[in-house]
A = this chain, B = another copy of it.
Amino acid sequence: MDKIRRRIKQIDWSVPFDIYSLFDKEKANIHPAELAGVLSNIPIEHALPIFESFSDDLKAYIFSYLEFPDQIILIKRLPTAQVGAILNNLSSDDRTQFFRDLSNEDRTNYLVLLNEENRKSTLDWLGYDEKSVARLVNEDFATIYKYMTVAEASEHLRKYHIDSEAANVVYVIDEDGKLLDDIQIRRLVMNEPERPVSDLMDGDYISLNIKDSVDDAIDKFMDYDRVVIPVVNDTHILVGVVTVDDIMDEFEARETEDIQKFGGVDKLDYPYVQTNFFKLTQKRATWLVVLFVGEMLTATAMSFYEEEIAAAVVLALFVPLVISSGGNSGSQAATLIIRALSLKEITLKDWWFVMDREILSGLTLGGILGAMGFFRIVAWHNFQWYDYGEHWLLIALTIFFSLIGIVLWGTLAGSMVPLLLKRLNLDPATSSAPFVATLVDVTGLIIYFSVAALILSGTLL
């Protein structure tokens, strides 16, 4: 793609342009996804005539591979008749997805361009919860009946489902359309033509309910290694299928959202480069401002200890070191627990197990960092790199015990807050690294100055 991007930059737009000349291979071997990739890298005024030159089928195919912002730019400039043809030619899941992303006004405008059948089905799908698998359901699936022979089933498929994209698996339904079983289409090839379909049925199939969440669907695909799963409604009538390619896209989007949340950014609706500056800044500012307000408490906390700082300025020197250690160990613990929750390696029931383990971890890690901090001061003082005064050993002990306390607290907070959020039915990933760091900063200061007061009172304080 990099090579092609370079070639795009060298195009001389003043002469007629053949998009296929960009590729090193024959026209027949170029995938619509590749054409979509090229088009989204060409300025719209040049991309438009190229797109219009394609057949209706290819237009819809390419359209389905474009990102939503590019879809909108394109469709707003196409003549209405072409728009209608594209939207009607889309597969039902791609169509539902497109309509779901539209503004209310655009949705009304484009719905009228659909033929009656497509409009009805799109409106049906749009009625389901946004988080349900409904928006991924493809109505393009192939069915056969139990009473058929393998030869009859094959004949039936040839006659009614020749274009069916998802037909690696066919579904056996009864007269009411209720799902009875799934059969890999290869089994129709592998079995003698005269065998009855009922012979191939084993009643062992996996299905999704139309109201199941996309998250459940992802789990089912992962757990059972499927490439397509049938979707039924509450009366077990087969309404469509979900395919693994859509599941992978959803999975990637979910991961992106988790990672961005963990980094302290609100979920972006579009890729980084396609999100406009204002929107991006707004999303970032929201979280930064919340964290800033929280962090302001550090200034308040510090002001309570102003006298101690004035009496022993040396205490201030270690503030960043001490509180950041709490933040870092908290971020670590939060990452581990959030990920383990998301992979279902632990559940809420493991609360006490996690707590026991993290207390032990916190003490060990705090002990290691505390020892390092202790020896840092002892070494600096004795090599005379820095003069910590006559109470240098007490200062070193203050750092030692503070670090144990703060790292323990950071580890505990980092690991328990995600579980707490989960318990409250909130997204554990909300306890982002910056969030945990802020939480630990404020409490860390209190721990630090309390330990200092305990150890240094009567000497420095």
Which residues of A line the B interface, CB within 8 A? 2, 26, 28-29, 31, 33, 154, 157-158, 161-162, 164, 167-168, 184-186, 188-191, 202-204, 206, 221-227, 243-245, 248-249, 251-252, 255-256, 258-260, 262-265, 268, 271-274, 277, 280-281, 284-285, 287-289, 291-293, 295-296, 298-299, 302-303, 306, 309-310, 313-314, 316-321, 323-325, 327-329, 331-332, 334-340, 343, 345-347, 349-350, 353, 357, 360-361, 364-365, 368-369, 372-373, 376, 386, 407, 432-434, 437-438, 441, 445
Question: In the complex the two chains form, what is the Cα distance from A397 to B309 in whole Å?
Answer: 23
What 10 new A-B contacts, CB under 8 Å, besides A272-B346, A288-B328, A313-B313? Answer: A185-B185, A185-B189, A222-B249, A227-B227, A251-B252, A263-B334, A285-B365, A292-B373, A298-B321, A324-B437
A28 touching B202, Cβ below 8 Å: yes
A272 touching B336, Cβ below 8 Å: yes
B285 touching A368, Cβ below 8 Å: yes
Say what secondary structure dominates the interface of chain A.
helix
Given A260-B335, A433-B434, the answer on whether A299 and B284 have CB atoms closer than 8 Å is no
Given A255-B255, A339-B260, the answer on whether A154 and B317 have CB atoms closer than 8 Å is no
Set of chain B residues within 8 Å of A432, measured between Cβ atoms = 331
Given A328-B288, A346-B273, A361-B284, the answer on whether A265 and B441 have CB atoms closer than 8 Å is no
User: Which of A245, A313, A325, A340 is most buried by chain B, counting CB atoms within 10 A of its CB?
Assistant: A313
Question: In the complex the two chains form, what is the Cα distance from A266 to B259 in whole Å?
Answer: 16
Set of chain B residues within 8 Å of A256, measured between Cβ atoms = 339, 343
Name the distance in Å between A67's Cβ and chain B's nearest Cβ: 10
Residue in chain B with minimal CB distance to A263? B335
Residue in chain B with minimal CB distance to A329? B288
Given A244-B227, A264-B332, the answer on whether A365 and B299 have CB atoms closer than 8 Å is no
Set of chain B residues within 8 Å of A226, measured between Cβ atoms = 245
Question: In the complex the two chains form, what is the Cα distance from A347 to B316 in whole Å?
Answer: 42
B328 touching A264, Cβ below 8 Å: yes
Contact of A299 among B317, B327, B340, B438 (CB under 8 A): B317
Question: In the complex the two chains form, what is the Cα distance from A368 to B284 in whole Å?
Answer: 11
Set of chain B residues within 8 Å of A343, measured between Cβ atoms = 252, 256, 271
Question: In the complex the two chains form, what is the Cα distance from A385 to B164 in whole Å?
Answer: 72
Set of chain B residues within 8 Å of A203, measured between Cβ atoms = 26, 28-29
Set of chain B residues within 8 Å of A332, measured between Cβ atoms = 263-265, 284, 287-288, 434
A289 touching B252, Cβ below 8 Å: no
Contact of A185 among B168, B339, B357 (CB under 8 A): B168
Contact of A376 among B221, B252, B296 (CB under 8 A): B296
Question: In the complex the two chains form, what is the Cα distance from A323 to B339 in whole Å?
Answer: 28
Question: In the complex the two chains form, what is the Cα distance from A162 to B345 in whole Å?
Answer: 37
Set of chain B residues within 8 Å of A338, measured between Cβ atoms = 259
Set of chain B residues within 8 Å of A291, measured between Cβ atoms = 324-325, 328
Given A28-B202, A437-B324, the answer on whether A309 and B298 have CB atoms closer than 8 Å is no
Set of chain B residues within 8 Å of A357, measured between Cβ atoms = 277
Residue in chain B with minimal CB distance to A249? B222
Question: In the complex the two chains form, what is the Cα distance from A319 to B316 in whole Å?
Answer: 9
Set of chain B residues within 8 Å of A438, measured between Cβ atoms = 324, 328
Question: In the complex the two chains form, what is the Cα distance from A138 to B248 in whole Å?
Answer: 21
Set of chain B residues within 8 Å of A365, measured between Cβ atoms = 281, 284-285, 288
Contact of A339 among B223, B259, B319 (CB under 8 A): B259
Contact of A331 among B263, B271, B281 (CB under 8 A): B263
Sample (10) of A-B pairs whose CB atoms are under 8 Å apart: A2-B349, A256-B343, A259-B259, A260-B336, A262-B263, A263-B336, A292-B372, A296-B376, A302-B319, A332-B434
Name the distance in Å between A202's Cβ and chain B's nearest Cβ: 6
Given A343-B271, A441-B324, the answer on whether A306 and B313 have CB atoms closer than 8 Å is yes
Given A28-B204, A224-B31, the answer on whether A299 and B273 have CB atoms closer than 8 Å is no
Question: In the complex the two chains form, what is the Cα distance from A272 to B361 in whole Å?
Answer: 13
Nearest 6 interchain pairs by C-beta: A263-B335, A225-B245, A298-B320, A433-B433, A272-B340, A302-B317
